[in-house]
Amino acid sequence: MRYGDWAETDHRVLAAVHAQGRRPAVAAAARALSFGGEHGALWIAAGLAGAALDRPRRAGWLRGTALIAAAHLASMGVKRVVRRPRPRPETYPPLVRTAGRHSFPSSHAASAAAAAIAFAALSPATRPVAVPAATAMCLSRLVAGVHYPTDIAAGALLGAATAAAGRTWLTNAPGGPRA
């Protein structure tokens, strides 16, 4: 597939998903998720809550939270190198304000994917909540009109790779994972 084909597909998918933001409930959900995911806040708060509530595996939850923060920081570093501009606001009116001008990769997607993988590794019982929540977070950025699909895919891959790279460290924490 040529670059032009990727760019056209990016725009077509973004246009279709962004159009869903005309529905008030969808727009409200996208705004809430976008706000909660800023700087990985929702995921970091969930990891800290896990550490506070699950004392036997506190070290694992704290390590998972560190992996989420690492994924977010890695995505910010890549953004500074790539410097891809966000979708044009005149074409895709944004539903939210953004912390920066650059879109590739999505930091929301990086932290969400890292959280879903880390939380599921710590406690497989969290998977039915963490994975759909992370997916919704990723989609919210398209509905909000502030990322292209390739930004989301790259962010999710970066977050997944970060969590996967730290999986042994995560699961070897005192208390270990629980089935």
The rounded distance, in Å, linking the Cα atoms of 157 and 160 is 5
- Tens place of pLDDT per residue across the chain (179 aa): 565 677 888 889 888 888 988 999 999 999 999 999 889 999 999 999 999 998 888 999 999 999 999 999 999 999 999 999 899 888 888 888 888 889 999 999 999 999 999 999 888 888 999 999 999 999 999 999 999 999 999 999 999 999 999 888 877 777 666 54
The rounded distance, in Å, linking the Cα atoms of 68 and 22 is 31
The rounded distance, in Å, linking the Cα atoms of 61 and 171 is 10
Looking at residue 90, its pLDDT comes to 87
Q: Is the entire prediction scored with pTM above 0.75?
A: yes
